[in-house]
Amino acid sequence: MSAKQVKDTAQEIKEHPMEGLLRMDRMPHIWCSTCGLGTTVTALATAINQLGLDTNKMAVVSGIGCTGRVAGYLKLDSFHTTHGRALPFALGLHISRPDMKVIVFSGDGDLISIGGNHFIHTARRNVDITVICVNNFIYAMTGGQVAPTTPVTAKSSTTPYGCYEHPFNLPRLAASSGATYVARWTALHIRRMTNSFKEAIAKPGFSFVEVIAPCSTLYARLNRLGTGLDLMKFYHDNSVIKHGIEPKDADIDFQSKIVVGKFIDIEKPTYIECLNDANKHVFGDKYKPYGGSDGSY
């Protein structure tokens, strides 16, 4: 048998294929066992690798949350801002450096609860930012409180007897606000998710990918759903792929089928294109298309 012995020495850390995109000096990360976040990060790193983009010209911005910690682990120019404010920070960064790809990596609470206003407005403006939202149906970082995504009857530390608020359907909200690319996958749809990330990053305009991911420590535990592994399986097995479906038909109920797929992929001028077109129209040749900071300041 020519198979070599499995190596398991820590010396080989340097060879992990994602290491170029990860801050190895910060490993191990803080995420729990069977948390879906690490998997989603791998998918993003893979997407970036596969796109072959200049990683010097990419930035990631996060708010606060377990998901928000992504900015601390990805080896790009990376900004860990305040809770809910990743998008406006990213908008400023994007406008100042339109030549860079800006990715916002945010949790469901961060992005849609406290950050909800920025979400709808940045989408409305069709700002060329890629937004990845890890929806674990809960506020994980702070210990398992209800989120605007928590399905009805699901338990959280602030809905100890079961949630009774109607949740958002994030793809629908994104689409209604103006997003030009909208997709949803579970964390186990690893290759499809990676592909969506690639499409979203390549897309000029506001692109949004929701990733349904297990929070083992809080969501799974509070709802007696087993481990994150069970949840990972559960989400995947209970999902149906429906590309191009009307987002409003993609509501998520507790423990019922999760519709996944690419829902929206349309063309619409981005914020900066609109800005340049409008000014060109008004000022003619006097106007030099806006190009942002040349990076030299």
Partner 1 sequence: MAVTEIRITGFGGQGVILCGYIIGKAASIFNDQHSTLTQSFGPEARGSACSAQVIISGERVLYPYVTAPDILIAMSKDGYLTHKDKIAEDCIIVYDKDLVKLEKHGPKVKTYGVPATRIAEELGRKIVLNIVMLGFFGAVSEILPREALRKAVETSVPSGTEGLNLKAFDKGFEYGLSLKKETVATA
Partner 2 sequence: MKYWRTPLDIDKLKIPRGELHIIKERCKGCGFCVEYCPKDVLELSDEFNSKGYHPPVAARPENCVNCDLCEMLCPDFAIYCTRVEDEKEVAR
Partner 3 sequence: MKADPRNVLTGANYLDGNHASAEGAIAAGCKFFAGYPITPSTEIAERFARRIPLLGGVFIQMEDELASMNAILGASWGGLKSMTCTSGPGFSLMMENFGLGIMLETPTVLVNVQRGGPSTGLPTLPGQADMMQARWGSHGDYEVIALAPDSPQESFELTIHAFNLSEKYRMPVLVMTDECVGHMTEKVIIPPAEEIELVERKYTDKKPGEAWPYESTNGDIAPMLPVGKGYKFHVTGLTHDYRGYPVINAEAQKLKVKHLVDKINKNVDDIIWIEEKDTDDAEIVMLSYGISSRVMQPAIARARKEGIKVGQIKMVTVWPFAEKRIAELAGKVKSLIMVEMNYGQVFLEMDRIARGRCKTYLAGHAGGTVHKPEDIYQIIKEAAK
Ligand X SMILES: Cc1ncc(C[n+]2csc(CCOP(=O)(O)OP(=O)(O)O)c2C)c(N)n1
- Enumerate binding residues for a second copy (CB under 8 A): 113-114, 116-117, 120-121, 124-126, 148, 152-153, 161-169, 172-173, 175-178, 248, 268, 271, 274-275, 277-279, 281-283
Q: To the nearest 10°, the Cα dihedral for 26, 34, 13, 197?
A: -80
How far is the C-alpha of 173 from the C-alpha of 210, rounded, in Å? 12
Which of partner 2, ligand X, partner 1, none binds 282 (CB below 5-8 Å, type-dependent)?
none
Query: Any idea what the Cα angle at residue 78 is, between residues 77 and 82, rounded to 5°?
Result: 150
Query: Any idea what the Cα angle at residue 221 is, between residues 154 and 194, rounded to 5°?
Result: 85
Task: Catalog residues that contact Mg ion under the rule CB under 5 A.
Answer: 107-109, 136
Query: Any idea what the Cα angle at residue 117 is, between residues 289 and 274, rounded to 5°?
Result: 20
Which of a second copy, ligand SF4, partner 3, none binds 32 (CB below 5-8 Å, type-dependent)?
ligand SF4
Which of ligand SF4, Mg ion, partner 3, none binds 56 (CB below 5-8 Å, type-dependent)?
partner 3
- Pick the closer one to ligand SF4 by CB: 59 or 70: 70
Q: Which of 77-85, 193-201, 212-220, 271-279 is the region at the interface with ligand SF4 (rule: CB under 6 A)? A: 212-220
Specify the amino acid at residue 47.
A
Is the bond preceding 28 in cis, omega lying within 30 degrees of 0?
yes
**C-beta of 147: minimal distance to ligand X in Å?**
5
| Three-state secondary structure call for residue 102 | strand
Which one of 35, 90, 163, 174 is in contact with ligand SF4 (CB under 6 A)?
Answer: 35
- Other C-beta atoms closer than 10 Å to the C-beta of 219 total 24
**C-beta of 49: minimal distance to ligand SF4 in Å?**
17
